Chains A and B, each alone.
Chain A
Amino acid sequence: MANHAVAVAAPVRPKVGREDWTMRGLILVIAAYLVVAIVLPLYAILSKSFENADGQFIGLANYAEYFATPALAYSIENSLTVTLISTVITVTLAFVYAYSLTRSCMPFKGLFKGLALIPILMPSLLPAIALVYMFGNQGFINELLFGESIYGPIGIVMGECFYVFPHALMILLIALSTSDARLYEAAQSLGAGRIRTFFTVTLPGVRYGLVSAFFVTFTLVITDFGVPKVIGGQYNVLATDVYKEVVGRQDFEMGAVVGMVLLIPAVLAFFADRIVTRKQVALLSARAVPYEPRPSGPFDTAMLGYCAVIGFILVFVLGVAAYASFVTFWPYNLELSLNNYQFDLMDGGGWASYGNSVEMAAWTAVVGTAVIFGGAYLVEKSKGFRAGRAAMQFLCMIPMAVPGLVLGLAYVFFFNAPGNPLGGLYHTMAILVICTVTHFYTVSHLTAVTALKQMDPEFEAVSASLKVPFYKTFWRVTVPVCTPAILDISMYLFVNAMTTVSAVVFLYSPDTALASVAVLNMDDAGDIAPAAAMGMMIVYTSAAVRVLHAVLTRGIARRSQAWRRR
């Protein structure tokens, strides 16, 4: 062997096979899509904020003007105030709710888990409308406010707490359910009581979950537009300012500036959340034993009582919205009728807008799932091409940090710019689908990546050795194994496409008016009852899709019982 060692071996340049070229090409296609759908529009809005109405670069002049206008700069303070209050309340309420569901032996856990998802089914405009019916000038329980007005910070906080509750709850449920029973046994054997155990074991164990819930809630609230639009009254916040500057005053440059200001807290919260999420993963070792709560009469009863109160509020808000949609003429004629559902008699887009919404949601679900799952597969399973894959991973994370309003406005600037070859997309159904897919890209991408990571990393190696092309293995193995995740992604995209307002509010045309936008416009025009009715149409549809999803998932679970472990 020694005689071979004399020559210095030449470095090997691995040959890139036809399959690798195909995968790299596809990665580039999806990366190009993301560049067009998120990077270039963001650049467009950023540069717009440095221009005057004639398109000349004027440096920070717009920003100077913004901060010199008290009415606008106040909004920052207002936004931070209502957001912080809403976030603290929501995270606290959701924590106790999640604690009840994971650490007590109370009955009806499944029911309460389901009830907590109610807000996800509606556009954020709808709970605000329900609050108007309850606490507005003609509200049936407005005495409870002791003369305070619901139009303003009180209403915003109440509406936001309702709207973001499920998001905070889901993060906390995961954090609380991944706990190590051995720590509790150790605490108990060392004589720690229930309260001491809570502060020394439970809280430290979920601290990352709490922080993550805090940041996610914070971002959702500060970027939400529906609640303050309906119930904010004269109390201006950043999200409504963007809308007013652009739609009301047609001051696109100032709209861009407010959008950039709104982007800052969202981006900061995004990075903070990424950091804690990464730490959370390392916390739980593979050998941890899941915690099983033990029955305890008084504690379980108290937790059940708490969940019953929260659950009742959630159902009550939905019930008010549903009831309001059927009442003929509030508060003078309480007879139930379908009058409010005759959308074609009102401005706002009519039944066609509902049809558009369903069409848009269906396209988003189908196209989005294909693009996002395919993209995640390529990033996870292709070989070599490190720079390309890293860039792609980064691109996939950007949408999470961009509020819908900013995204929608960025699309206006980018696609509507004179000379853009893609300008033909403006005011079409396609741009609504592209915008919505992009808006909800990151969460779907992460769901797909999680599912793909759970698959044996050697499947691709085995099929290569058997000379089976990667796309055949993708169809025969990857897609069937990942079907539950694929269904989750498409349902998530569909429901969000139905309920979203913020991004699409700048992008619809008379021909592509959407149901959620119709809710907004009818409410704006004072047609609150029809707005509630249209909101309920969204709820019915989202709920139906969720039921369909549950049925499909169960059917697939039964059919694949033979090969899925547990």
Chain B
Amino acid sequence: MSTPMPSDRESATAAAGSPYLQIRDLTKRFGDFTALKDISLDVYEGEFVVFVGPSGCGKTTLLRAVAGLDIQSAGRIEQAGRDVSALPPAERDFGIVFQSYALFPNLTVRDNVGYGLRSRKTSKAQLTARVDELLHLVGLPDQGGKYPAQLSGGQQQRVALARAIATSPGLLLLDEPLSALDAKVRVHLRHEVKALQHQLGITTIMVTHDQEEALTMADRIVVMNAGIIEQVGTPGDIYSKPASPFVADFIGTMNFLTGTVAGQRSVRVAELELAAESANGLRAGQEVTVCVRPEDVVVGDIGPETPNAFEATIEDMEFLGSFWRARLVPRSADGQPFLADMSANLARRLDAGPGSALRVALPPDRIRVF
């Protein structure tokens, strides 16, 4: 079991025909408060979609609407061609893992995993075989006789996952499944959950507030904010081509500089004129926000031909383990400070430190203009 490569992810999206789950014009109101505004979204068969956003953005509300736990005020949800908009959870087809796991404390791991199987017309032998298979799948083959309280958080999470997929539902819903875990376990389980999902090919929606989790696990990310979808795209797209300043800020770290459009494919920030491909099509003189990620700022090895190069002074440096993050101020008048990352190795080579001068460049294709 290995984590699928990015190429796999894209093909999963592209290969699918009509969407497995169609959400149309979904609105959810709680009294006067509108939690979801006119949400429309398609999820394809076998896809791993992650809803991400700050708390209160509506991501959990959307997931609960899909599950039928809190049915939307208006709008339509179709799953596998069936209109499930108004159906109670028991008449829909999904498995779910909650942040609390909601494992039945008085039942053993085996009984928890087999909980949904027992009521169906399965023989005892079939049930035992299926539970064994599931426990094996989640890597807990010898823990069947224990009670949830006797397991670690990570193990409980796997039991909850096994229980959710036991009945082979068409859709797997994960509500912040890793949030209750320690940082180390969380990183480890990210890969396991993703690998398991890939192996089973089950269409999966996960909710998280952790952008790193979204970037590492998702085939497609849905970035939400204040009840609307800001952007839908692959992790690569979301990171490198954020559709709005909100997305740019929420996913990763971003420098925001105020400027104006100078001409075709160029912007002016204070006294600097910068080539920027994404300024294409904007009216000259228009006020814009110019964005560039700290790791995209080129530091050192800058030749005379390098576009968008200028002198800057280091104001301050912050050590972040594997790299340094420097706060730079351009030499030009009213230079706006910005962040730039450099490897520990590079920082040593350039003898960078507070007060030292550097030559930096902002690659035109890495600049986003809003």
**A residues with CB within 8 A of B:** 1, 4-5, 7-17, 19-20, 383, 456, 458-459, 461-469, 472, 476-477, 480-481, 560, 562-565
B217 CB–A CB distance under 8 Å: no
Q: CB within 8 A of A468: which of B38, B67, B115, B148?
A: B115
Complex: how many Å from CA A477 to CA B27? 35
15 cross-chain CB contacts under 8 A: A5-B40, A9-B76, A12-B72, A12-B74, A456-B98, A461-B98, A462-B163, A463-B116, A465-B67, A467-B119, A476-B104, A481-B106, A563-B105, A563-B150, A564-B149
Give chain B residues whose Cβ lies under 8 Å from the Cβ of A466. 95, 115-116, 119, 163, 166-167
Q: Is the CB of A9 within 8 A of B75?
A: yes
* Nearest A residue to B25, CB-CB: A9
Smallest CB separation, B206 vs chain A (Å): 15
Q: Is the CB of A15 within 8 A of B25?
A: no
Q: Is the CB of A12 within 8 A of B119?
A: no
Complex: how many Å from CA A410 to CA B24? 57
Complex: how many Å from CA A481 to CA B107? 10
Give chain A residues whose Cβ lies under 8 Å from the Cβ of B167. 466-467
Smallest CB separation, A3 vs chain B (Å): 9
Given A8-B25, A463-B116, A465-B164, 6 other A-B contacts at CB below 8 A?
Answer: A12-B86, A14-B88, A466-B167, A467-B90, A468-B119, A562-B149
> Which among A16, A461, A477 has the highest number of chain B CB atoms within 10 Å?
A461
Q: CB within 8 A of A13: which of B86, B92, B104, B169?
A: B86
Complex: how many Å from CA A469 to CA B88? 12
B302 CB–A CB distance under 8 Å: no
Give chain B residues whose Cβ lies under 8 Å from the Cβ of A19. 88, 90
Q: Is the CB of A9 within 8 A of B27?
A: yes
Complex: how many Å from CA A466 to CA B118? 10
Q: CB within 8 A of A461: which of B24, B27, B102, B115?
A: B102
Smallest CB separation, B337 vs chain A (Å): 37
Q: Is the CB of B102 within 8 A of A476?
A: no
Complex: how many Å from CA A383 to CA B89? 11
Complex: how many Å from CA A4 to CA B115? 40
Q: Is the CB of B74 within 8 A of A459?
A: no
B185 CB–A CB distance under 8 Å: no
Smallest CB separation, B263 vs chain A (Å): 30
B135 CB–A CB distance under 8 Å: no
Q: Is the CB of A465 within 8 A of B95?
A: yes
Complex: how many Å from CA A563 to CA B90? 28
Q: Is the CB of B74 within 8 A of A9?
A: yes
Interface residues of B in 88-128 (CB under 8 A from A): 88-92, 94-96, 98, 100, 102, 104-107, 115-116, 118-120
The DSSP consensus for interface residues of chain A is loop
Q: Is the CB of A477 within 8 A of B86?
A: no
Q: CB within 8 A of B106: which of A10, A17, A458, A563?
A: A563
A459-B102, A466-B116 known; A11-B90 Cβ under 8 A: no
Q: Is the CB of B73 within 8 A of A5?
A: no
Complex: how many Å from CA A498 to CA B47? 64
A12-B85, A564-B105 known; A472-B119 Cβ under 8 A: yes
Complex: how many Å from CA A465 to CA B90? 6
Q: Is the CB of B100 within 8 A of A4?
A: no
* Nearest B residue to A463, CB-CB: B115
Q: Is the CB of B96 within 8 A of A462?
A: yes
Complex: how many Å from CA A477 to CA B89? 19
Smallest CB separation, B340 vs chain A (Å): 36
Q: Is the CB of A14 within 8 A of B86?
A: yes
Give chain A residues whose Cβ lies under 8 Å from the Cβ of B73. 11-12
Q: Is the CB of B104 within 8 A of A17?
A: no
* Nearest A residue to B87, CB-CB: A15
Give chain B residues whose Cβ lies under 8 Å from the Cβ of A4. 24-25, 40
Produce 1/0 per residue, B241-279, CB < 8 A to A.
000000000000000000000000000000000000000
A9-B27, A9-B38, A9-B76 known; A20-B88 Cβ under 8 A: yes
* Nearest B residue to A470, CB-CB: B90
Give chain A residues whose Cβ lies under 8 Å from the Cβ of B120. 467
Smallest CB separation, B331 vs chain A (Å): 45
* Nearest B residue to A468, CB-CB: B119
B69 CB–A CB distance under 8 Å: yes
Complex: how many Å from CA A456 to CA B98? 10
B310 CB–A CB distance under 8 Å: no
Give chain B residues whose Cβ lies under 8 Å from the Cβ of A560. 106
Q: Is the CB of B75 within 8 A of A12?
A: yes
* Nearest A residue to B64, CB-CB: A461
* Nearest B residue to A5, CB-CB: B38
Complex: how many Å from CA A15 to CA B90? 11
Smallest CB separation, A24 vs chain B (Å): 12
Interface residues of B in 138-190 (CB under 8 A from A): 147-150, 163-164, 166-167, 169
Give chain B residues whose Cβ lies under 8 Å from the Cβ of A13. 86
Q: Is the CB of A12 within 8 A of B71?
A: yes
Complex: how many Å from CA A7 to CA B119? 42
B57 CB–A CB distance under 8 Å: no
Q: Is the CB of A9 within 8 A of B26?
A: yes
Smallest CB separation, A487 vs chain B (Å): 15
* Smallest CB-CB A-B distances: 7 pairs: A466-B116, A9-B25, A17-B88, A563-B147, A458-B102, A464-B89, A9-B74
Give chain B residues whose Cβ lies under 8 Å from the Cβ of A5. 25, 38, 40
Q: Is the CB of B102 within 8 A of A464?
A: no
Give chain B residues whose Cβ lies under 8 Å from the Cβ of A562. 147, 149-150
Q: Is the CB of B100 within 8 A of A458?
A: yes
Complex: how many Å from CA A10 to CA B73? 9
Smallest CB separation, B10 vs chain A (Å): 20
Smallest CB separation, B196 vs chain A (Å): 18
* Nearest B residue to A562, CB-CB: B147
Smallest CB separation, B115 vs chain A (Å): 6
Q: Is the CB of A15 within 8 A of B107?
A: no
Complex: how many Å from CA A472 to CA B26? 33
Give chain A residues whose Cβ lies under 8 Å from the Cβ of B116. 463, 465-468
Smallest CB separation, B257 vs chain A (Å): 30
Complex: how many Å from CA A11 to CA B29? 11
Complex: how many Å from CA A4 to CA B74? 13
Give chain B residues whose Cβ lies under 8 Å from the Cβ of A383. 88
Smallest CB separation, A560 vs chain B (Å): 7
A465-B94, A466-B116, A563-B149 known; A10-B74 Cβ under 8 A: yes
Give chain A residues whose Cβ lies under 8 Å from the Cβ of B105. 481, 563-564
Smallest CB separation, A60 vs chain B (Å): 43
Smallest CB separation, A49 vs chain B (Å): 42
Complex: how many Å from CA A476 to CA B119? 12
Complex: how many Å from CA A339 to CA B100? 63
* Nearest A residue to B232, CB-CB: A1
Q: Is the CB of B88 within 8 A of A476?
A: no
> Which among A9, A458, A463, A466 has the highest number of chain B CB atoms within 10 Å?
A466
Complex: how many Å from CA A476 to CA B69? 22
> Which among A7, A383, A464, A564 has the highest number of chain B CB atoms within 10 Å?
A464
A10-B74, A12-B75 known; A565-B149 Cβ under 8 A: yes
Complex: how many Å from CA A461 to CA B69? 7
Give chain B residues whose Cβ lies under 8 Å from the Cβ of A12. 71-76, 85-86
Complex: how many Å from CA A565 to CA B148? 10
Complex: how many Å from CA A1 to CA B92? 25
Give chain B residues whose Cβ lies under 8 Å from the Cβ of A476. 104, 107
Q: Is the CB of A465 within 8 A of B98?
A: no
